Structures are given as C-alpha cells and as structure tokens.
C-alpha cells in the first residue's frame, strides 16, 4: 500500500517560521518519523511539498492509479482553494487532512476548511504528532478498504 504525503505552502519553512505556532521541528524531521512508521508497517510512502497551488493539484491528480491514500496539509490553501478541494474529490482516494496548529483557535479566516468536507477526516492542533495520528488512521482506513474489497470478491466468486 502506498501513501502520498502532500505538504502545502510555507511548510518547507517549518523550524524557522513562527515556532510559537508551528513548533521547532523541521519538515524533513516530520517526514523521517513518518518514513520510520511506514517502514515498520510495510507501507510505501512518498513526500511532496510545493508552495504552488497548481503543482499541488497536479500531484493529487497523479495519485490516481499510483497511490492508495493521501495525507495532506494544504496549509493556507485549506481556506482558499476550491481547486485543491475539487482535485481531492475527483481522485476518490481516502484522504486525511492534517494541521499542526488548531485552526479553530486561530484567526477567524482559518476556521473554515474548504478541503475537509471531501476528506475522510481532519487532524488539527496536535503538532507533529498529528502526522503520526494520520499514519495510524490511514493504515486503518486502507485495511478496511482492503477487507471490503476482499469480501466483495468472495461474494462475487460464490455467485458464479
């Protein structure tokens, strides 16, 4: 099973920008922890970060036939991007949205997520641990999807 992790704008600046909000951990450290979890659980994982909305849309679309699930932190695009929302909806892959900070405790404009309604779930305010929770959650979702497909195949085989 393959999970693609998509990181939005300014997340490449983690560890430098607003440490009081986002903490001191760098993006590569978060990715290293996610990779360790993936390796331990025999999952393939790929990381992508862009500050450009169109590149994020392109990467989401490229997940069709290439990935089983997506973990995304759309960052500021969470609150503004209908294009990213539509791409997530179009690929029809289990998607979990992650935010380091609790967007509901921040400025009013950050309270509304355009992308959350097309995601399987949203994890907010847990700092870097939120990505670990997303890995656990995605592992469970993908296991359930695999079990459901297997049950459907067995039911079809019995009908023949």
**CA–CA distance, 118 with 26 (Å, rounded to integer):** 28
Residue 22 appears among annotated catalytic residues: yes
**CA–CA distance, 108 with 11 (Å, rounded to integer):** 21
**CA–CA distance, 6 with 77 (Å, rounded to integer):** 12
- Exactly one of 22, 77, 131, 132 is catalytic; name it: 22
Neighbouring residues of 92: CB distance < 8 A, sequence distance ≥ 6: none
- Exactly one of 31, 77, 99, 104 is catalytic; name it: 99
- Count the neighbouring beta carbons within 10 Å of the beta carbon of residue 155: 9
Q: Give me the DSSP letters along 40-51.
A: HTT-EEEEEE-S
The residues annotated as belonging to the active site are: 22, 99
């Amino acid at each position: 099973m393959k999970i693609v992790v998509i990181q939005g704008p300014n997340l490449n600046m983690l560890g430098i920008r607003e440490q009081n909000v986002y903490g001191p951990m760098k993006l590569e450290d978060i990715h290293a922890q996610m990779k360790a979890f993936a390796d331990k659980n025999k999952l393939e994982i790929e990381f992508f970060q862009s500050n450009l909305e169109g590149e994020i849309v392109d990467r989401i679309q490229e997940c069709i036939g290439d990935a089983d699930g997506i973990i995304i932190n759309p960052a500021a695009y969470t609150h503004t991007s209908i294009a990213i929302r539509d791409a997530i909806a179009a690929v029809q892959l289990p998607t979990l949205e992650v935010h380091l900070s609790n967007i509901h405790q921040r400025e009013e404009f950050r309270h509304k997520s355009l992308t959350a309604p097309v995601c399987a779930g949203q994890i907010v305010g847990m700092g870097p641990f939120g990505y670990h929770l997303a890995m656990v959650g995605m592992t469970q979702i993908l296991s359930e999807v695999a079990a459901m497909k297997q049950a459907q195949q067995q039911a079809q085989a019995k009908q023949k």
